[in-house]
Amino acid sequence: MALGYHIKHNVILYLYLRFSNQLRTYTYNSVSISNENKRIRNLTNQEDAIINSCVEDLSTVAPYFPKSFNLAAYTNGSETLQKLIKLNVDLSKIEKKPHVAEKLLQLDINSNMNGHILFLSDFVKMENMGIFITKNPMIFYQNIDDLKVRVNYLMSKRFSDEQIKYIIWKNPFWLMFSTVRIDRRLGYFQEKFKLTGEEIRNLASKKPSLITYNLKHVLCNLFIIKEEMGFQDHEMKHLIMNKPKLWMINDKALLQRFDYIHNVMNISHARILKEPEILLCRNFRIKQRHLFLQNRGRAQYDPLKENFIPLKALFEGTDTEFCKKYAKCNATDFNDFLKTL
Amino acid sequence: MVYFRDAATAFKSLNGLLCVYKPACVSIKQVQKTIKTNLCRDLNALPDRPLEQRVEIVGPTNEPMEVKLVPNYADHPLACGPRYINEDFRCSWGIHLGLFTSGVLLLGINDGTRLTYQLNTARITRAYKIHGQLGKATDTYFWNGRTMERTTFGHVTREKIDSVVAHMQAAHQKTMFELSGLHMESETMYELATQGPIRPANNKLPVIYGIKCVYFDPPNFTLEIQSVNEYEKYLWTLVHDLGVQLKTSAHCTGVQCIRQGKFNVDLALLRKHWQLEHIAVNMDRCREILEENEGLVRPKSAKLNL
């Protein structure tokens, strides 16, 4: 059984014990009488009083929610959290950010959340709602009118309905950005890459998270792709339209990958532009397949010569497929080779 | 292939030694983390136990109350997190391999951590393949260092390299006896020495039992080394010293561990096979090897375990 699970239950148990202890001390302190005899007599009276039947309805009397390390402790007592679980919201992920979890606890499903969920259901499918809320529970603190304005902004910029749906569902943080910020960012990308209106719409709907991504990181990768890798402006435009993710990945890994592909494997810029997926594949995968092909004398990537191996062989498919289709050998040969690296 | 009915039985069976193939430039910490994460991923994907029930007594207190059995939401995986997390696994390594060393790595999972400690104190022998290059010396003795000098190596022949290597091996014989912890001129020492190679008593000094050049194609060459107590940097310096003794210079281009005790490369799991099913099979095979070779974990004599 998971250790984490045990800890969580022990917390609840501990809180319960502490609470029951407090009750006992409270009854004891209420007997504040100087005379010892009187105190003992009163104590027995007090205990009698506890044993005597009570005719009042006490079901509404409940203790406060005690402090807890996680949201799971509150789920049984809170209808809101139960509803969220039924929506597939992962509370254990939300509680990783304590300030967000605290905010979530202050909400009520009927008064604060229903409107938002109803509004979002126009754009996000109900089965994906849980993923959406898990990623961005703070959406409930946004004013619904603001959200409507932000959607209207997208409509005014002539995004199609499909595109708007995709943007909102793929990037739960999009609606958190004010129209001014989104407008500025769209303008920034349009200007940086010299995109037309149609192209920026396609980019935003292909990778909505790029628009709201950390601009410092985007700028850093822009520098690497332009200056260190040496892609031209029009080539960069081609790259961002096909693989916008390149501007979001780790800069060091990107450069290392390019260095291996371009300088060790001698693949030209033009070839990389045709199959930019190769820049998104982890380096060790390309490396081990390339070394294996080299070992077999098959590392020939020039399409004009015979026995040509397409670049996609290096990153696509499983190792078995790769061995069968391109390296023309058994998967065990490849595994044996990997054990000599 | 092993098939598990549910996650709990699978987790209970994950105790023991695991033999993986560590890639170069990936640290042991990272290997451990990847294996733990993969195990958690596979365990969480297996059929889960049913949700816990909890008893609720509801209704007004002055009337007969209702006792209900309701599902316990606090036990829901979405509320209390995935059933298995990385912290549930203990993982330790048997013999440390440096960052740039690739090859066989022994890991102990959960109760297997004890085994790795015992293997470490039993000082099992390790075999390495060390790839070197003549003609260049670097400040770290490895390929990643700054070039310190360049020399010619046309005069180096297979015979010369063999003789230097044989000399290096002979020089280490003495350390082997010194590290046994006995007086060099005693009767006990003599009796011990007649049995063949002996294990060192502590882990202070590296001991080399055998060293051999297995591949020579100037400027590249490969040495095969059997040793105990060695570490990555020490193996690099060996290549450097070899270069100096050959009246040229050399640096190391790669270190690969091909055997640890009875665990060799064939047994090791490749990075793509670090999954629950493969790991379970591998653990069984490691357990079989340990059962076949009783002296491997708790050796009775000072004789070397090969």
Is the pLDDT at A9 greater than 60? The verdict is: no
Phi, psi of A35 (to 5 degrees): -70, 130
Where residue A160 falls among pLDDT bands split at 50, 70, 90? very high
Where residue A38 falls among pLDDT bands split at 50, 70, 90? low
Residues B253-276 have a mean pLDDT of: 93
Chain A CB contacts of B272 below 8 Å: 319
CB contact under 8 A, B79 and A85: yes
Distance from CA of A315 to the nearest CA of B (A): 14
- State the Cα–Cα distance between residues A183 and A177, nearest whole angstrom: 10
Taking CA–CA distances from A93, the nearest residue in chain B reads B81
Chain B CB contacts of A5 below 8 Å: 75, 80-81, 83
Which among A206, A205, A203 has a CA at the least distance from the CA of A193? A203
Contact with chain A for residue B275, Cβ under 8 A: no
For the four alpha carbons of B122, B195, B193 and B191, in that order, the dihedral sign comes to: positive
Each residue's pLDDT tens digit, B124-182:
899 999 999 999 999 999 999 999 999 999 999 999 999 999 999 998 888 888 888 78
pLDDT of residue B232: 92
Residues A232-261 have a mean pLDDT of: 92
Where residue B107 falls among pLDDT bands split at 50, 70, 90? very high
Is the pLDDT at A19 greater than 70? The verdict is: no
The pLDDT > 70 percentage for chain A reads 85
Q: At what angle do helices A197-206 and A179-192 cross, to 10 degrees?
A: 110
Taking CA–CA distances from B10, the nearest residue in chain A reads A1
Q: Which amino acid is at A322?
A: F
DSSP symbol at B56: E
Is the pLDDT at A33 greater than 70? The verdict is: no
> In what helix (H) or strand (E) does residue B68 lie, and over which residues does it extend?
strand B66-71
Which among A130, A139, A143, A129 has a CA at the least distance from the CA of A174? A139
Q: Considering the entire predicted model, what is its pTM? A: 0.85
Q: For residue B150, what are the β-bridge partners?
A: B136
CB contact under 8 A, B85 and A340: no
